[in-house]
Homo-oligomer: A and B are copies of this chain.
Amino acid sequence: MRPASASIGPVSSAEEDRAKGSKTAGSDFLLLDIGQAPPRGRTEWLTSRIRSAIADGTLPVGSRLPAGRVLAAELRVSRGLVTEVYQRLADAGQVAGRGRAGTVVVAAPAPASAPSRAPEGPAVPADPFAPRPGAALVDALRSVPCRIDLSPGVPDLTAFPRTAWLQAERRVLAGLTPADFGYGDPQGTPALREAVVGWLARNRGIRADPGEVVVVSGVAQALALLAPVLRGSGVRRVAVEDPGSLGARRQLEYGRLETVPVRVDAAGVDVAALAGSGAAAALLTPAHQFPTGVVLDGERRRELLAWAAGGGVVIEDDYDAEHRYDRAPVPALRALLPEAVCYAGSVSKLLAPALRLGWLLVPPRLLDAVVAQKRYADLGSPVLAQLVLARLMDSGELERHLRFVRRRHRRRRDAMLRAIAAALPGARVHGAAAGLHLMVTFDSAGFEDTALASAALALGVKAHPLSWHRVAPGAPGLVLGYAAGPVGDVEEGIALLGKALRQVT
Residues of A within 8 A of B (CB): 43-44, 47, 51, 55, 84, 88, 90-96, 106-122, 135-136, 139, 142-143, 154, 157-158, 160, 162, 165-166, 169-170, 173-174, 176, 178-187, 190, 193-194, 205, 207-212, 217-218, 220-221, 224, 251, 254-255, 295, 297-299, 301-302, 305, 327-328, 330-331, 335-339, 348, 352-357, 364, 367-368, 371-372, 375-385, 484
6 A-B contact pairs sorted by A residue (CB < 8 Å): A91-B297, A96-B302, A110-B339, A113-B212, A120-B185, A217-B378
Q: Among the interface residues A84, A93, A378, which one has the most CB atoms of the partner chain B within 10 A?
A: A93
Tell me the nearest residue of chain B to A187, going by C-beta: B121
Q: Among the interface residues A122, A183, A355, which one has the most CB atoms of the partner chain B within 10 A?
A: A183
A356 touches B379 (CB 8 A): yes
A354 touches B383 (CB 8 A): yes
Give CA–CA (A112, B364) in the complex, Å. Answer: 12
Give CA–CA (A443, B229) in the complex, Å. Answer: 44
B382 touches A357 (CB 8 A): yes
Given contacts A158-B178, A160-B181, A183-B354, 5 further A-B contacts (CB under 8 A): A51-B205, A92-B301, A113-B208, A157-B182, A220-B378
Give CA–CA (A319, B120) in the complex, Å. Answer: 27
Give CA–CA (A368, B254) in the complex, Å. Answer: 15
A302 touches B106 (CB 8 A): yes
| Contacting residues, chain B, for A355 (C-beta < 8 A) | 382-384
| Contacting residues, chain B, for A51 (C-beta < 8 A) | 205, 331
Tell me the nearest residue of chain B to A51, going by C-beta: B205
B91 touches A298 (CB 8 A): yes
Give CA–CA (A318, B382) in the complex, Å. Answer: 21
Query: Shortest distance in angstroms between A375's beta carbon and chain B's nearest beta carbon?
Result: 6
A382 touches B367 (CB 8 A): no
With contacts A88-B327, A352-B181 taken as known, whether A224 is within 8 angstroms of B96 at the C-beta atoms is: no
